[in-house]
């Protein structure tokens, strides 16, 4: 099949990740012959402009995947669990952006810059899983350091933006900020978040598990081990929602088998694919989500070796979670699958 003859479906086309994915189709000039935009029945009939063409959103419940070569799923785990396998059985290669299949041993969990070799053959179940938005930057930064120093322990604290909860999360932050700043001093409501996010910090993302950790934190642990191929890796995380519209930040502590050299770490990260190193005085030494210069790169700053422990270091990571953490990683999976003739 020629690359331009691809037939593509985007499930969840009306959501934040779906919108970002469609924008990336234009930016990265993905060639295709046909594009179907799919969502829930309540969104069916809406029109969306993509690449200068107007498309009508189709209802997932009535959609036929038998004519689709590549299907992106970004409509939530419940939707993926119900429909993704059926789409794959009808012949589509499914790239799933939810947690539905990430830990399935039959399903590759792929970050192209780290373990893209998994895409040299078509997956057994026809599904490729896209990792969690907080996991991707961690493994992107630590994979080259693991090869050099042998990472044995990771502790991650995340500072995750409202867009991680979709368009409704962003709107809740926006309306909550307005309410908090209004002359009436209206108390903001919470719906998408456990408590109001405006001017607040919420140390709980996703469902609480019996361990006392949240599902979001558990994802970082399990997915990091799977992507890096390190079942022995010690990983722990605290996931926090912060009042930022878009852009996840993470403080990453890591311990290694070999002693660390800061200058060498800087050079290793500068040589890693699609990573920008911020290493200077003052604000030049760290990225921030509001002023991220390139949303298609992992930004690393505050690179430190612990003075009392030369085997331990810290990194500060910032990424555009809708792009690096979701849509762009999914599209890079697709680009690699196309290059390897998996469709």
Residues 140 and 249 in one domain: yes
Q: Is residue 284 part of a domain?
A: yes
Residue 292: inside a domain: yes
Residue 82 host element (H or E): helix 77-89
- Does residue 194 form part of some domain? no
**Strand 275-277 relative to strand 298-305, pairing:** parallel
Length of the chain in residues, anyone?
343
Say yes or no: 219 and 87 in one domain: no
pTM of the model: 0.95
- Any binding-site annotation on 163? yes
Say if residue 118 is in the same domain as residue 156: no
The pLDDT assigned to 239 comes to 98
160 in a labelled binding site? yes
Indicate whether 221 and 110 sit together in one domain.
no
For residue 241, say whether it is annotated as part of any ligand binding site.
yes
pLDDT, tens only, 76-88: 999 999 999 999 9
Question: Per the domain annotation, does 190 fall within a domain?
Answer: no
Question: What 3-state class would DSSP assign to 158?
Answer: strand
Average pLDDT for residues 119-147, to the nearest whole number? 97
My answer on whether 240 and 333 are in the same domain is no
How many CB atoms are located within 10 Å of the residue 266 CB? 14
- Tell me if 67 is assigned to a ligand binding site: no
Select from 102, 70, 106 the least CA-distant residue to 341. 70
185 marked as binding residue: no
139 and 127 share a domain?
Answer: no
pLDDT surpasses 80 at 1: no
The answer to whether residues 238 and 304 belong to one domain is yes
Distance between CA atoms of 14 and 39, rounded to whole angstroms?
Answer: 7
Is 61 inside any structural domain?
yes
The model's pLDDT over 268-277, given as tens digits with 9 standing for 90+, comes to 999 999 999 9
17 is in an annotated binding site: yes
pLDDT digits (tens, 9 = 90+) for 280-290: 998 889 999 99
Indicate whether 145 and 120 sit together in one domain.
Answer: no
318, pLDDT greater than 90: yes
Q: Are residues 332 and 284 in the same domain?
A: no
152 with 265, same domain: the answer is yes
Cα dist. 178→8, 13, 186, 233, 244 in Å?
A: 39, 28, 9, 44, 14
Rounded to whole angstroms, the Cα distance separating 195 from 267 reads 42
Q: Is the pLDDT of residue 186 over 90?
A: no
Position 98 pLDDT exceeds 60: yes
Shared domain for 107 and 230, answered yes or no, is no
Examine the domain organization and report whether 244 and 108 are in the same domain.
Answer: no
Tell me the pairing of strands 70-73 and 127-129. unpaired
CATH number of the domain at 15, please.
Answer: 3.40.50.720
What is the residue range of 66's domain? 3-131+326-339
Domain count, the chain: 2
- Strands 47-50 vs 53-56: parallel, antiparallel or unpaired: antiparallel
User: Catalytic residue numbers?
Assistant: 133, 248
């Amino acid at each position: 099949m020629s690359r331009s003859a691809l037939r593509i479906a985007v499930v969840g086309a009306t959501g934040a990740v779906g919108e970002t994915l469609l924008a990336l189709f234009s930016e990265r000039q993905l060639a295709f012959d046909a594009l179907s935009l799919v969502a829930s029945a309540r969104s069916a009939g809406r029109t969306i402009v993509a690449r200068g063409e107007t498309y009508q959103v189709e209802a997932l419940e009535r959609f036929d995947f038998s004519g689709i070569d590549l299907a992106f799923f970004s409509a939530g785990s419940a939707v993926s669990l119900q429909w993704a396998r059926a789409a794959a059985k009808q012949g589509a290669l499914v790239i799933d952006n939810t947690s539905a299949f990430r830990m399935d041993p039959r399903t590759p969990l792929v970050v192209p810059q780290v373990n893209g070799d998994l895409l040299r053959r078509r997956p057994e179940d026809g599904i490729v899983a896209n990792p969690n938005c907080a996991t991707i930057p961690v493994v992107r930064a630590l994979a080259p350091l693991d090869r050099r120093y042998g990472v044995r322990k990771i502790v991650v604290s995340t500072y995750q933006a409202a867009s991680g909860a979709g368009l409704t999360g962003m709107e809740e932050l926006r309306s909550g900020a307005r309410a908090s700043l209004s002359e009436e001093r209206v108390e903001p409501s919470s719906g998408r978040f456990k408590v109001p996010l405006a001017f607040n910090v919420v140390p709980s993302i996703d469902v609480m598990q019996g361990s006392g950790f949240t599902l979001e934190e558990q994802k970082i642990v399990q997915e990091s081990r799977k992507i890096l191929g390190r079942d022995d890796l010690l990983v722990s995380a605290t996931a926090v929602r912060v009042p930022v519209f878009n852009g996840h930040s993470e403080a990453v502590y890591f311990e290694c088998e070999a002693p660390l050299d800061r200058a060498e770490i800087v050079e290793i990260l500068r040589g890693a694919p699609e990573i920008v190193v911020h290493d200077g005085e003052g604000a030049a030494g760290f990225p921030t989500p509001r002023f991220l210069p390139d949303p298609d790169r992992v930004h690393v700053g505050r690179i430190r070796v612990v003075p009392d422990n030369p085997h331990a270091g810290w990194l500060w990571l910032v990424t555009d979670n809708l792009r690096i953490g979701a849509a762009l990683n999914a599209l890079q999976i697709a680009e690699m699958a196309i290059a390897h003739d998996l469709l």
